[in-house]
Structure 1
Amino acid sequence: MTAHHLQGSLFDQTDELRLGSLDGIRRTTLGAGAWIDVLPGWLTGSDALFEQLASEVPWRAERRKMYDNVIDVPRLLAFYGAGEELPHPVLTQARRALSAHYAEELGEPFVTAGLCHYRDGRDSVAWHGDRIGRGAREDTMVAILSVGSPRDLLLRPARGGETVRRPLGHGDLIVMGGSCQRTWEHCVPKSARAAGPRISVQFRPCGVR
């Protein structure tokens, strides 16, 4: 597996992993019942977490059938189901904090964690909604903690419309809620700029993928 160098953040020069308060999170209403909450720099020391996850998580490369071809998925993946120990205690703390913060609104805890490792600007994920399972028919939430170099997360209405862009990395948090998975799509596009590596951790409730 090729090693990709992380350019550290000038604002995150500490190895002490610490989650901030969620009180400062800011909501943006997208329309059609969808919204996003964003909190930059929720996790300090996130560059140290990136290095640990990049080297210690059992990443897997997947291949998927696309029309008549089988292609490499342009990112590395890992998944931790309900009851499985997460690869770092701070991720368990993050999931617990998110479950407590959104308990009244979501009505259930976040239980799974999916990890994506974008090694450089050539890695990406195409436009999609998390519609495998209940997300196709019910309002739900997906919370994403990003560590490593920032990459743009783009969101657009599923039926067409203006694109919303949020650069995420270095401990930033975004929560997609309401009807977001049904009525909007999101992607991480390829980048022609010199893009450093990034890992996203997606926390989801039971039955949402």
Structure 2
Amino acid sequence: MSPALQGSLFAATEETALRSLDLVRRERLDAGAWIDVLPGWLTGADSLFERLVSAVPWRAERRQMYDRTVDVPRLLSFYEEEDSLPEPVLDDARAALTEHYGAELGEPFRTAGLCFYRDGRDSVAWHGDTIGRGSTEDTMVAILSVGAPRALLLRPRARPADRGTSGPPVAGTVRHTLGHGDLIVMGGACQRTWEHAIPKSGKPVGPRISIQFRPRGVR
């Protein structure tokens, strides 16, 4: 199913394990949003990628787009809070995120959504995770990336919910290239006042899997 992954030497040979979340670096955005970034949070990420390709029940979806139904340009799988995750290290990752962010978030991370970007033609359009409580409440979405690096872009919404029409303009687009065990956590008002995307790439890029950990009622 998977195209060949050109792995990182270290990600392929190291034991699969998590580094300390005390190493995260916070970047303040605008309109009440922030992101935390930790490159290489998960060591041995390429071996986890290979296991997930085989172990996860991937599905292709089709969605209504205006007057036609189109293929979703990535494969998907979603684990509800009562579901067993496909790899023990993902349980460890969710528990570590809850321990580190629980006091700030006010609740644990509970679900895990997985996206499989097979090549540069797979993508996700600009959006915020605003299905459910994310449309009205500050929350967090933590994304662990394994496989080949891909660009994740963030940009402010045209009229962020948390600010009026006056005041200084919001910042421009933010870009982070994520893969091989990198972590990004989007917090505060990020889902409501900013949006994010994985753009298509015309350059040769390898496959990537993202694992999104969310609290209950956030999609």
TM-score grouping bracket, smaller chain normalisation: over 0.9
Establish whether residue 132 from structure 1 lines up as the match of residue 93 from structure 2.
Answer: no
For 2:145, give the aligned amino acid: S
1:45 alignment partner in structure 2: 44
Post-superposition Cα deviations, 1:46-84, rounded to whole Å, max 9, x if no partner, equal 000000001110000000010111100000000000111
For 1:208, give the aligned amino acid: V
Post-superposition Cα deviations, 1:76-112, rounded to whole Å, max 9, x if no partner, equal 0000001110000000000000000001100100000
SS in 1 for 2:10: coil
Conserved 8 A contact 2:74-2:115: yes
SS in 1 for 2:50: helix
Q: Separation in 1 of the partners of 2:100 and 2:83? A: 22
Q: Separation in 2 of the partners of 1:12 and 1:206? A: 31
Q: TM-score, normalised by structure 1?
A: 0.97
2:79 alignment partner in structure 1: 80
Q: Separation in 2 of the partners of 1:13 and 1:71? A: 35
For 1:62, give the aligned amino acid: E
Structure exhibiting the larger radius of gyration computed from Cα positions: 2
Question: Aligned-pair RMSD on alpha carbons?
Answer: 1.0
Q: Separation in 2 of the partners of 1:45 and 1:10? A: 9
SS in 1 for 2:13: coil
Q: Separation in 1 of the partners of 2:127 and 2:171? A: 15
1:7 alignment partner in structure 2: 6
2:108 alignment partner in structure 1: 109
Conserved 8 A contact 2:11-2:47: no
Conserved 8 A contact 2:12-2:47: no
Runs (4+) off by over 4 Å? none
Q: TM-score, normalised by structure 2?
A: 0.93
Post-superposition Cα deviations, 1:117-146, rounded to whole Å, max 9, x if no partner, equal 000000000000000000000000000000
2:181 alignment partner in structure 1: 171
Q: Separation in 1 of the partners of 2:130 and 2:35? A: 17
SS in 1 for 2:9: coil
Q: Separation in 1 of the partners of 2:190 and 2:59? A: 28
Q: Separation in 2 of the partners of 1:10 and 1:180? A: 34
Count of residue pairs the alignment pairs up: 208
Shift of 1:161: 5.1
How do residues 24-63 of structure 1 correspond to structure 2 at under 5 angstroms?
24-63=23-62
Q: Separation in 2 of the partners of 1:19 and 1:201? A: 14
2:213 alignment partner in structure 1: 203
Q: Separation in 2 of the partners of 1:13 and 1:79? A: 26
1:118 alignment partner in structure 2: 117
Q: Show structure 1 runs of 5+ residues with no match.
A: none
SS in 2 for 1:139: coil
Identity %: 71
SS in 2 for 1:74: coil
SS in 1 for 2:11: coil
Q: Show structure 2 runs of 5+ residues with no match.
A: 159-169
Q: Which has a greater percent of strand?
A: 1
Establish whether residue 187 from structure 1 lines up as the match of residue 169 from structure 2.
Answer: no
Shift of 1:8: 0.7
SS in 1 for 2:114: strand
